Amino acid sequence: MSLPLLTLFLAAFALGTAEFVIAGVLPEVALGLDVSIPVAGMLVTGYAVGIAAGGPLLALATNGMSRRTLIVWLCGVFAAGQVLCATAPSFELLLAARVLVAVVHGTYFGIAAIVAVNLVPPERRGFAVALLLAGLTVSNILGVPAGTAIGNAFGWRATFWAIAGLGLVATLATAFVLPDTGQKGGSAGKLLTEFKALGRQQVLLSLLIAFLVMIGQYSLFTYIAPLLREVTGLSQDMVPWVLLLFGLGATVGVMAGGRLADWKLLPSLIIILATQAVMYLLVYLVSPYPIAFAVVAFAWGGANFAFGSPLQTRILQWAADAPNLASTLIPSAFNVGIAVGAALGAGLIDAGIGYRNLPWIGVACQVLAVGVAIGSAVWEKRARQVPPLGAEPAAAE
């Protein structure tokens, strides 16, 4: 495993921790800035909007910049953004700082995926993307609990100071370790090519799949704690242990998805999506039974996170001649799906559907996603479509 890939993983870990740790310190932030917890929840919504809208815009604005330079710059802005979060005197300024960090987040994961696949041979591209995504899953297992513990012990501002330090380490690591290959996102004249790449059905339908999968996942996962307490009958102290099992499964799933992507890309994606549908059905069936649910939680986490590597590898393959905009739209599709899923779950709960029935949204979304993936494969085969020139990572542009 190369050191440059590990630096990309480190930065992804820092960004993932910054995104998710707010849930662990949200009550303390609300108390410290004298706002209600629902108002403080805008720190989560604002982050998702920043990723979805700001990430692609920043990618277009920096289209002619060296990718290595851009990554170092993004890490530096991320660290500075955490300092702004730590010192924000009001909720409004904290929200603004979070949105700034989110824009960096959205751009980073798109550009870093391109850099990662260019650091390895073609047959290892799936693994490279998986290692990058593993930074997000590991942040849930290590970064979020550690950040929450720091906040509980020293105050919520200390959490942001700690993440700022992690961001500084990531900045220095990328500056000194990432090779300067001379790769650039492209000139202004390539912007039309960037938009044309989005018109390929493989890219558009893959983004649709990401959107559907996130709706299914977050219509349930957003409300997993009350489901575990009210349906499964677990105590409050047991909920984190089930979430830990989910996180461990997610980490295994990310790496397994990378291996499968390097084996058979599109067939693996279809199989994983179908497996996710089965997992949601199992969640529904075992939700009243604590031990069975704990076992399924591990498998559910693995299936849910296994699809990311094949999906992103497919998008990068079919937008290889102009990957910047397409790659940065991946986190946008994810986060729009997250927002829709959370809102859909809330609406159904308010309508009296109940927590137990939320997995059916996942079943429906995954069946649709499988249909989209199969349709894309059939379309590709009948039209005899081939990936664009440049699908194999080049040393430089």
* 218 in Cβ contact with 358 (< 8 Å): no
Partnered with residue 66 across adjacent β-strands are: 184
**Residues written for the chain:** 397
Asked if 179 and 229 sit in the same domain, the reply is no
Asked if 252 and 333 sit in the same domain, the reply is yes
Distance CA(143)–CA(224), nearest Å, equals 20
Asked if 344 and 378 sit in the same domain, the reply is yes
Asked if 127 and 76 sit in the same domain, the reply is yes
Asked if 308 and 243 sit in the same domain, the reply is yes
Asked if 105 and 13 sit in the same domain, the reply is yes
Prediction pTM value: 0.76
Of 154, 185, 216, which residue sits at a domain end?
185
Distance CA(9)–CA(123), nearest Å, equals 19
Asked if 149 and 259 sit in the same domain, the reply is no
For 184, which DSSP code? B
Which residues are CB-contacts of 74 (< 8 A; sequence separation ≥ 6)?
A: 104, 107, 108, 111
Distance CA(202)–CA(321), nearest Å, equals 14
Distance CA(22)–CA(237), nearest Å, equals 19
* 284 in Cβ contact with 147 (< 8 Å): no
- How would you class 229 by CB atoms within 10 Å of its CB: exposed for 0-12, middle for 13-18, buried for 19 or more? middle
| Closest CA relative to residue 78, chosen from 167, 197, 206, 174 | 167
Q: Per residue in 163-192, pLDDT tens? A: 999 999 999 999 999 887 655 555 444 667
* 360 in Cβ contact with 280 (< 8 Å): yes
pLDDT for residue 336: 86
pLDDT tens by residue, the chain, 397 residues = 589 999 999 999 999 999 888 877 877 888 899 988 777 878 877 888 888 888 888 888 887 788 889 999 999 999 999 999 999 999 999 999 999 999 999 899 888 888 888 888 877 877 887 788 788 878 877 888 888 888 888 999 999 999 999 999 999 999 999 887 655 555 444 667 667 777 788 899 999 999 999 999 988 887 887 888 889 998 877 877 887 888 889 888 988 888 888 888 889 999 999 999 999 999 999 999 999 999 999 999 999 889 888 898 888 888 877 677 777 788 888 888 887 888 888 888 888 888 899 999 999 999 999 999 999 999 988 988 887 765 443 332 2
Mean pLDDT of the chain: 85
Asked if 391 and 257 sit in the same domain, the reply is yes
Output the six-digit token pair for 227.
Answer: 């489901």
Distances (CA, A) of 128 to 121, 303, 394: 10, 19, 15
Q: ∠68-69-74 over CA atoms, to 5°?
A: 100
pLDDT for residue 134: 82
Asked if 228 and 350 sit in the same domain, the reply is yes
Provide the number of structural domains found in the chain.
2
- How would you class 295 by CB atoms within 10 Å of its CB: exposed for 0-12, middle for 13-18, buried for 19 or more? middle
* 372 in Cβ contact with 253 (< 8 Å): no
pLDDT for residue 396: 27
Of 145, 164, 185, which residue sits at a domain end?
185
Q: ∠131-14-328 over CA atoms, to 5°?
A: 65
- How would you class 292 by CB atoms within 10 Å of its CB: exposed for 0-12, middle for 13-18, buried for 19 or more? middle
Helix residue ranges per DSSP H, 21-66: 22-32, 37-40, 42-49, 55-61
Could you list the residue range(s) of the whole structural domain that residue 80 is in?
1-185
| Closest CA relative to residue 197, chosen from 316, 95, 109 | 316
Asked if 141 and 249 sit in the same domain, the reply is no
| Closest CA relative to residue 60, chosen from 104, 92, 107, 5 | 107
* CB atoms closer than 10 angstroms to residue 394: 12
Of 125, 150, 185, which residue sits at a domain end?
185
Asked if 135 and 253 sit in the same domain, the reply is no
Asked if 175 and 266 sit in the same domain, the reply is no
Output the six-digit token pair for 48.
Answer: 């998702």
pLDDT for residue 172: 96
Output the six-digit token pair for 258.
Answer: 């990378």
Which CATH number characterizes residue 316's domain? 1.20.1250.20
